[in-house]
Amino acid sequence: MSELTPDETKVTAWLASRKDAMVALLREMVDTDSGSYDKAGVDRAGQVLARFHQANGLNVEIIPDARYGDAVKARLPNPAANDQRPVLLLGHRDTVFPEGEPTRRPFTIKAGRAYGPGVADMKAGLVIEAFVAAAFAECGGLSAPLTMLTTSDEEIASPSSRPIIEAAARESRCVFNAEPSRLPPGTEFLRDHKQSITSGRKGGVFMRAEFVGKAAHSGANYEKGVSAIVDLGHKIPKLQGLTDLERGVTVNVGLIGGGQTVNTVAPHAWCEIDLRYVTTAQRDELVGAIRGIIETPIVEGSSAKLTIKGEFVPLEQTPEAAALYHTYRDAAASFGISVSAEFTGGCADSGFTAAQGCPTLCSVGPIGGMAHTPDEFLEVESIVPAAQVLALAVMRTAARME
């Protein structure tokens, strides 16, 4: 357990005194509706953060988007730094929940856990990033420039934010993405002081297939019809058959639909497909195999077309990312927290930054679980330690890379 320097002590003590303020900001963020397709709501959540940044001395830039929520970029410059590449704090404020969810399930705290839409994934992570940036502004700055980029559409594969994220990664020295961290199985945070972050993530491709047949009366002219539903039905086992758990590959046909009426041979059908893979090299092979299955007719006279709706790239481990992890782990040990890392099948924007060659560490947010469900929770007592560990890791990483 390393001893803190005076500057480190000042920053982490300032954060320790801000627990109530962190919870208050988290409550405001959670109670602000921000489903991915709700541009007005996502922008309101962005303004909550923008006002906080401005009140704490950061420079704020709003990057507009006509369809999805605007990106919010806050900067804490350091003109004296030898290396002007910033440390990048990354996160998203959109959620998977339908409009009105915060009204139905507002922010609450019960038995030490906070609940509400997006409380862990990942509004708590945004809160600690914002307070870490504020701590540096209040306590004399950082040895490197700092940028906090908050995006609007991660839950739908970042269709508008990906180029913004990639550009930010190319100009940064490293990235900390505050997706929620996790409790190792069988542990309790206050009792065991353990935390699990992410060492790597799968890539993901989200696809939609449209099938075309020919309508016919199912009683009088059945033989004249071409069923798009039957063509789709034959292809589902072939698609699922591409799953190879030993290689870390899964293919899931998660949504299907089609048809005109019960007494009509189906003239159209559709399905949506989720592909997960481990290494970049697997991606083209698997997308090609899926396309081949979809676009090769089984029912004579039918046709089909595959479209990619969204995509994440994998977060793959590098020596530079491993160095970030070791710095973070040692920072956590300074507060008596034992950190481990695990690979996950979930996707995140951290894959985009890592693919640009920028060292990236993911899941450094407070501890949470059950994301994307009504039972999503956050361990309230992990908020301040998560902020302190992140601040310490950023300070030590910046000093090492300066």
Same domain, 29 and 133: yes
Domain boundary among 282, 312, 342: 312
CB contact at 8 A, 308 and 341: no
Does residue 1 belong to any structural domain of this protein? no
Are residues 263 and 320 located together in one domain of the fold? Answer: no
Total domains present in the chain: 2
pTM of the model: 0.93
Q: Which residues of 199-212 are buried (b: 16+ CB within 10 A; e: fewer)?
A: bbbbbbbbbbbbbb
Q: How many residues are recorded in the chain?
A: 402
Query: Which amino acid, 225?
Result: G
- Show which of 250, 284, 312 is a domain's final residue: 312
What's the CATH number where 233 sits? 3.30.70.360
Domain co-membership, 331 together with 280 = no
Cα 238 to Cα 213, 294, 311: the distances in Å are 20, 9, 22
Q: Taking the alpha carbons of 353, 359, 364, 369 in that order, is the dihedral positive or negative?
A: positive
Which residues, including other chains, have CB under 8 Å from residue 232's CB and lie 6 or more apart?
A: 209, 211, 256, 258, 269, 270, 271, 304
Domain that holds residue 31: 6-201+316-401
Same-domain status, 79 and 112? yes
Is 38:99 a contact under the CB 8 Å cutoff?
yes
Is residue 358 in some structural domain? Answer: yes
CA distance 222 to 349: 49
- CATH code of the domain containing 324: 3.40.630.10
172/294 same-domain check: no
- Is 249 a domain residue? yes
In a domain, 212, yes or no: yes
Q: Are residues 150 and 238 in the same domain?
A: no
Looking at the structure, do residues 217 and 193 belong to the same domain, yes or no? Answer: no
Q: What letter does residue 121 receive in the DSSP assignment?
A: I
If asked whether residues 164 and 257 sit together in one domain, one would say no
- Structure token digits, residue 215: 């309508």
Residues 248 and 368 in one domain: no
| Cα gap 206→60, rounded to integer Å | 33
Position 275 in a domain = yes
- 123 falls within a domain: yes
- The answer to the question of residue 219 being in a domain is yes
Examine the domain organization and report whether 292 and 371 are in the same domain. no
| 243 and 132 within one domain | no
The amino acid occupying position 328 is Y
Statement to judge: residues 379 and 367 lie in one domain = yes
What is the distance between the alpha carbons of residues 132 and 129, in angstroms, rounded to a whole number? 5
| Ordered per-residue pLDDT tens for the chain, 402 residues | 568 999 999 999 999 999 999 999 999 999 999 999 999 999 999 999 999 999 999 999 999 999 999 999 999 999 999 999 999 999 999 999 999 999 999 999 999 999 999 999 999 999 999 999 999 999 998 999 999 999 999 999 999 999 999 999 999 999 999 999 999 999 999 999 999 999 999 999 999 999 999 999 999 999 999 999 999 999 999 999 999 999 999 999 999 999 999 999 999 999 999 999 999 999 999 999 999 999 999 999 999 999 999 999 999 989 999 999 999 999 999 999 999 999 999 999 999 999 999 999 999 999 999 999 999 999 999 999 999 999 999 999 999 987
Residue 350 domain-assigned (yes or no): yes
